Amino acid sequence: MVKKRVARNASIADSLFTSSPEWCVLNEVDLTTIEETAICSSYDTGDIIFYEGDEVQGVYFVKSGLVGVRKADFEGNSTLLKIANPGDTLGYRPLAAEQPHRASAEVLKPSVICFIDAKTMRQIVQGNPALGLNFLKRAALELGDAEEKFHESVTLSTRARFAHLLIVMQDKLGHEAEDGSQQFTLPVSRSDLADMLGVRRESISRVIHELESEGITEIRERNVVVPDPDSLMNEFHR
């Protein structure tokens, strides 16, 4: 049973939605159809949007907040695969493949998620093939990212890969402080960070200690300070 908070009468067709790489091709008729059918709902941290194995009912547009995509093993232990940010759409690949969800979606921070049912999606794609093409492009990019991630896992050190992960999070979540440093809050635990890199938590703890001892980062609980962003970038390229 999906845990969902009270639905909101929030409009989905704001600038975040209409400027997204996938949805930007919608015409006025398409937008009206989505406005009339989409359901935007509030979720709290820890809520589940859908579970691995659930039948696909439609797609989910992340209007605000953060969502973790997790996959479980046979013993029920989950691994964080990726983080969905505002502007991302979840569920389009299993919908296109006519398969159940292959992972679960868990809210990492309070979020507003807009659901567009499968019937509406198919209706719009049939009338506007450019939308389907955009999602095909998105799937191809994600496949390329997965291949690149695998390549990094066998060619780069854990330290370089962790630096890269911090750079990505810094770009999406960080802000510049008065002293010129970059600061942000990790949206997940160290165990989840280890999952995302495919290493043990002990390895992440060791890398964090090394980066802190060299003054490259300061990490307290989930609060991250990067005194010199260039030094973190150098770690990745080195």
The model's pLDDT over 150-163, given as tens digits with 9 standing for 90+, comes to 777 778 899 999 99
Same fold, 7-147 and 156-237: yes
Q: Per-domain residue ranges for the chain?
A: 7-147, 156-237
Q: How far apart are CA 61 and CA 176, in angstroms?
A: 28
Decide: 66 and 84 in contact? Cβ < 8 Å. Answer: yes
Indicate the fold that domain 156-237 takes in CATH. Jelly Rolls (2.60.120)
The token pair at 213 is 């001892």
- The angle formed by the CA atoms of residues 183, 185 and 189, to the nearest 5 degrees, is 140
* 7-147 belongs to CATH 3.30.200.20: no
The full DSSP string for 129-171 is HHHHHHHHHHHHHHHHHHHHHHHHHHHS-HHHHHHHHHHHHHH
The pTM for the full model equals 0.80
Task: Going residue by residue through the chain, which has 238 residues, state the pLDDT in tens, using 9 for 90 and above.
Answer: 454 555 544 578 788 998 999 999 999 999 999 999 999 999 999 999 999 999 999 999 999 999 999 998 777 678 899 999 999 999 999 999 999 999 999 999 999 999 999 999 999 999 999 999 999 999 998 888 888 877 777 788 999 999 999 998 999 899 999 898 999 999 999 999 998 888 888 999 999 999 999 999 999 989 999 999 888 888 877 7
Neighbour tally for 209: CB within 10 Å: 11
User: How many CB atoms within 10 Å of residue 212?
Assistant: 14
